[in-house]
Amino acid sequence: MTALHTLWMGLVLLGVLGVLQTRAQAPVSLQPNFQQDKFLGRWFTSGLASNSSWFREKKNVLSMCMSVVAPTADGGLNLTSTFLRKEQCETRTLLLLPAGAPGCYSYTSPHWGSTHDVWVVATNYDEYALLYTAGTKGLGQDFHMATLYSRTQTPRAEIKEKFTTFAKTQGFTEDAIVFLPQTDKCMEGHK
């Protein structure tokens, strides 16, 4: 019985170490020489890809939302997003904390209470940004999402193609990738 307990504890320890090692290694590359000050300001969520069941169920009713990225005193970012939900505008703010190299952040999911990591994979700062998010939700279900942020509500075709290619290299299938339709709702004063 002691040997079985020792084996079980060893497997648990290896599992924990494996999780720690996996969490420390980014699954994607970061934007070289990321400049947080250039990343600040208004962005539109133009494209999404996710393995989430919620996303698969709701992707056809989602629309573009507007986000504002602002610095925090501790070197992190406030990501404040305004979006349409049940015919009403909602605003939510996520606190993105620095998590290693510039362009790498983490936040605590307000719904699940779990930590999610966010990487700014590519950006030219004045037109687009590609982000990748990974974490767990619920009962340890892996959560992955790719996001295309655009400075305008109409990203160029080349930017959309860049996002599609990026999402596919992360393992998302064509049916898991969506470009969000423009809306005037919840965008008043922000065009």
- Catalytic sites, residue numbers: 65
The span from the CA of 105 to the CA of 118, in Å, is 5
The span from the CA of 83 to the CA of 106, in Å, is 22
CB 144 within 8 A of CB 170: yes
Give which of 54, 58, 94 is closest to 76, Cα–Cα. Answer: 94
Burial 116-129 (b: 16+ CB within 10 A, else e): bbbbbbbbeeeebb
Regarding beta strands 65-71 and 77-85, do their DSSP bridges make them parallel or antiparallel, or are they unpaired? antiparallel
DSSP state of 35: -
